[in-house]
Structure 1
Amino acid sequence: MERVVHPRRFASAFLVSGLLAPCVALAQGPGVPPTTKQIFPADPKASVPALSQFMGTTTSELAEVITRFAADQSALQRRYDAPDSKSQRTRMRAFFSAWRERLTGLDFGKLSQEGKADYVLLDNHLRYQLELMEREDKQMQEMAPLMPFGDRLLALHEARRELNSINGQQAARTLSEVTKQIDSLRALLEPAPGGAARAGGDSSRARASAPKVSRTVGNRTADQLDQIRNVVSQWYRFYSGYDPVFTWWAATPYQTLDEAMRRYTQTIRQRIVGIQVAAAAPSVAATGGPGGGRGPGGAAAQAPRNAASANEPIIGDPIGAEGLAMDLRHAMIPYTADELVAIAEREYAFSEAEAKKAARQLGFGDDWKAAMEKVKNMYVEPGKQPDLIRDLANEAEAFFGKQDWVTIPALAREDWRMEMLSPERQRVSPFFLGGENILVSYPTNEMTDEEKMMSMRGNNPHFSRATVFHELNPGHHLQGFMTARYNTHRRLFNTPFWNEGMALYWEMFLWDHDFHVRPEDRLGALAWRMHRSARIVFSLSFHLGKMTPEQCIEYLVDKVPFERANSEAEVRRSFNGSYSPIYQAAYMLGGLQLRSLYKELVASGKMKDREFHDALYQGGPMPIAMVRARLAKVPLERGGAAPWKFAEQLPAPRPFPVK
């Protein structure tokens, strides 16, 4: 994650251009003056918990089993680190299958409820890994016409991992033969200069014999070739210079191969994908490294394999209705993608009605979009955004401090930090991000005037007020703080329905408890609520083949009050490989699941607020259906619990009373 930690100066031309005219002073919440964050507690012992609470506590019988599995999985992924090689796929498939077989040998009936929950979670994880490998097998078959040499190159690295002795002359021959194959494939994709005939036929006949693949497959193949090129580079560097015979034979063939792969990948992106300016091949570090975890929470879900420029076309890789059904089954969501879109549209209708209500208070009638424009123009001046974020974080913590809703340990209030997002990162992540570090998005002197305005308007005080606590306490920061301290074995089961859903749940919770009183603040909260509804619609529709990336952008521009550039960045990061296919839908769906569970357990009087919320954090990450199984003592079988139709049990959204 790229971060900018040094202060920025704004160009004088920007300061006199008149762009700052709409700036207004930040209106603080009632009784919450600007304040400096306390760095060190008055009583240092306040950050040390009572140690007796950790003594004699019981945990799941499978905690050590899952810890062992996670360690073994990680070890194998480091060992078999050639991405999608035959050896890697064969070994990992055998590993997951063997673990699943071992798991069936346990006496499920003798386990406690926590043990049964862990059994179901581990089995669900193993089944999903095997299903993902089946999906990836099909994707590899689609890419094979463009990279029939892939296995041969990856086998070089695998032989090194097997500690086989190297034959420099034979290795050089392999490199030269693959280079010829790559050059031949590239020739099929590139028309002859001036349309002249190529050897063996004219240019039209050469193009006709080129592999026929879609832009999606071409883009995926180019990304895979970047990774293979990195692996071959690692393989070569291991021997080069250390083995004089190998170096004598292989130095020139390797350099020729490397250049051939670079040109071929560039040609695929230009001729098939439609990218006219080739980007530098991403490094292994940039792509998360070969052999990373699969699916939500794995390395592949944390870092994009496509490190393309923000100016390139948005391609994506739709997984279809079957793929969505598989991912939703893993998340224990008993609805089809179309049913989830209907739920999102219902939630959007509530937000739109509330936005019109706030717009009327501001004198805009039902024109909520005009009211949103006024709110977006209430940005703070350059250089003041860190102060704003600090004050908003303090305001939210003070609001929570007056209630008995959730435990926020003293150390969790103390240890978070703030950094700035780079201009490059802001083009893909236009809003601040959070966790132990809150990463602030705001203009720098390197941006164009248009980019500066986009950033300031999109990060105005009222939009920001609704999500600072989503990123810090009791949102992502508190989640990370607690998962590092309670049921740590369950980090393997992390899902966006838990971490993003819980953070969004707090946005809905504070709406229900009058944190947003002024119409400007309500519009800020509703902008995000609309956004999360729209995310479900456009992301699932894309994977169902019902929307193109451009249609997704237009949908966001129409439905969500973000700048067009913000909407484009949102779609780009949704489909560039940074996130699993259902990640964007998980925000609101996870939040709605927790609302339904709150109604079942707290509104019914079975649990108190603090008891319920603390149990969410201390139980560890997992699909929300399994949170319910744990807390509500839902009967569990080896295959899990009965499907939970949470949407039928949702409390009605709370409309804001306007006198």
Structure 2
Amino acid sequence: MDFGVILVKSIFNILNPMTHMYVTRLRWVVFLLSWLTTFGAVAQSSKSQFNLYEQTSEVAGLVIRYAQDIRAVKYFYGPMPVQGRSAQGGGQVLNSPEQRKRLREVDHGYLNQLAKVDFNAMSIYGKVDYLLLKRNIDDHLLTLDQEEKEYAQIEKYIPFATGIYELEKARRRGATVDGQAVAGKLNDLQKEVSKAEESFRKLESIDMPLSRMGVEALNGLEARLKSTFEFYNGYDPMFTWWVPKPYKTLDSTLNAFAKLVRSKGKLNTTQKEDASGIKGVPIGRDELIRQLRAEMISYTPEELIDLANREFAWCDRELLKASRGNGFWQ
């Protein structure tokens, strides 16, 4: 037998018991580590009712679902996209009463879910997400309440709105419609809009916020009507035959009414005009404070103005100091 082979076998026989003992010890170490890891995971899960491996925080799932649910409601109850854009050119339209009701239900549903969460048991990240989500929901509810309050004040000027909302409701479900009946309905609506327009024309003016709400409502109705028309036109033969002409007439009447409502808006405010060139409707001190609180800014408007003046004064002093240091100002 070759000497090299004999030497290798001899060394292997000598080391073999050591190798066996090493492997045995290694197996015990691996088993012990596995047991400790499993025990630690069980102990960790028993301390917390949340699974941090699912999301970045305990409330992140609610944050994502809430955003998607609100988006789904707006998509379903709003005007359908037309040629790649919404009927208003990509902008949001005023919520319909039905849409506003559904959004409020979603908000309250998520507030109920948050109420069941153990705030103290969460990590700091979960607590932050909890507070921000609740802040957003509360603010959204306030916005919906304000919108409903203003809409209730202008609803009497647009009594025909319910008829247009009903037409859109059928479109959302993809219901089969009678083209001739729809044309007759649009003719009736056109007469109602003309009558409402003549009545509104007699008013001297209305408050600017209500005028703005009226314009938004009419633009929304126009967008929803267009959405319904585009959905059936060119697909349903009888609809395509009967509806285009009365639709165009009603659409033009709604557009003219919106311009009239905009022209009647009058800004009732004690604020004096200045040379700032800033346009818009003042929201008032109370609303400004509410918005500051919503952004978690614990300052009053007066305190912010005072702080800004002090910062500007400091900037002026530093600019003068730098100018003198560079020899530009003596």
Q: TM-score surpassing 0.5?
A: yes
Distance 2:104 2:60 in 1: 23
Alpha carbons 1:216, 1:316 under 8 Å: kept = no
Offset, 1:74: 1.8
Of the three residues 99, 116, 139, the one matched with 1:128 is: 139
Offset, 1:216: 4.0
Distance 1:57 1:355 in 2: 52
> Larger % of helix: which?
2
Letter matched to residue 217 of structure 1: L
Offset, 1:347: 2.0
Instruction: Spell out the pairing of 1:633-644 with structure 2 (5 A cutoff).
Output: none
Do structure 1's residue 65 and structure 2's residue 62 form an aligned pair?
yes
Distance 2:286 2:181 in 1: 44
Distance 1:256 1:362 in 2: 72
Instruction: Spell out the pairing of 1:122-521 with structure 2 (5 A cutoff).
Output: 122-188=133-199, 207=202, 210=203, 212-272=205-265, 315-357=279-321, 363=328
> What are the Cα deviations for residues 566-591 of structure 1, in whole angstroms up to 9, with x where unaligned?
xxxxxxxxxxxxxxxxxxxxxxxxxx
TM-score (norm 1): 0.35
State the number of aligned residues: 254
Offset, 1:238: 0.9
Cα gap change, 1:189 to 1:58, in 2 (>3 Å): closer
Of the three residues 84, 103, 107, the one matched with 1:96 is: 107
Offset, 1:363: 4.4
Distance 2:227 2:327 in 1: 61
Q: Which runs of 5+ in 2 are unaligned?
A: 1-52, 80-93, 268-276
Offset, 1:273: 6.8
Distance 1:334 1:148 in 2: 43
Offset, 1:334: 1.9
Alpha carbons 1:85, 1:151 under 8 Å: kept = no
Alpha carbons 1:66, 1:122 under 8 Å: kept = yes
Letter matched to residue 72 of structure 1: D
Cα gap change, 1:138 to 1:186, in 2 (>3 Å): same
Offset, 1:258: 1.0
Cα gap change, 1:81 to 1:168, in 2 (>3 Å): same
Distance 2:303 2:103 in 1: 34
Cα gap change, 1:102 to 1:362, in 2 (>3 Å): same
Do structure 1's residue 87 and structure 2's residue 84 form an aligned pair?
no
Alpha carbons 1:189, 1:271 under 8 Å: kept = no
Distance 1:62 1:170 in 2: 50
Alpha carbons 1:222, 1:268 under 8 Å: kept = yes
Alpha carbons 2:57, 2:125 under 8 Å: kept = yes
Offset, 1:266: 2.7
Offset, 1:90: 0.8
What's the counterpart of residue 109 of structure 1?
A: 120
Instruction: Spell out the pairing of 1:587-598 with structure 2 (5 A cutoff).
Output: none
Offset, 1:179: 1.6
Alpha carbons 2:186, 2:250 under 8 Å: kept = yes
Distance 2:106 2:137 in 1: 9
Distance 2:316 2:222 in 1: 49
Distance 2:74 2:216 in 1: 19
Q: Percent identity?
A: 30
Distance 1:88 1:58 in 2: 30
Alpha carbons 2:180, 2:243 under 8 Å: kept = yes
Distance 1:85 1:329 in 2: 28
What's the counterpart of residue 476 of structure 1?
A: none
Cα gap change, 1:70 to 1:215, in 2 (>3 Å): closer
157-166 or 324-333, larger mean C-alpha shift: 157-166
Cα gap change, 1:314 to 1:80, in 2 (>3 Å): farther
Offset, 1:145: 4.5
Distance 1:57 1:101 in 2: 22
Cα gap change, 1:60 to 1:174, in 2 (>3 Å): same
Offset, 1:99: 0.9
Cα gap change, 1:161 to 1:345, in 2 (>3 Å): same
> What are the Cα deviations for residues 238-297 of structure 1, in whole angstroms up to 9, with x where unaligned?
1123222233332221111011122222333445479xxxxxxxxxxxxxxxxxxxxxxx
Alpha carbons 1:229, 1:258 under 8 Å: kept = yes
Of the three residues 54, 60, 75, the one matched with 1:78 is: 75
Letter matched to residue 102 of structure 2: R
What's the counterpart of residue 194 of structure 1?
A: none
What's the counterpart of residue 594 of structure 1?
A: none
Offset, 1:221: 2.7
Letter matched to residue 260 of structure 1: T
Distance 2:327 2:158 in 1: 60
Cα gap change, 1:357 to 1:183, in 2 (>3 Å): farther
Alpha carbons 1:87, 1:158 under 8 Å: kept = no
Q: Which runs of 5+ in 1 are unaligned?
A: 1-55, 191-206, 275-312, 366-659
Cα gap change, 1:320 to 1:137, in 2 (>3 Å): farther
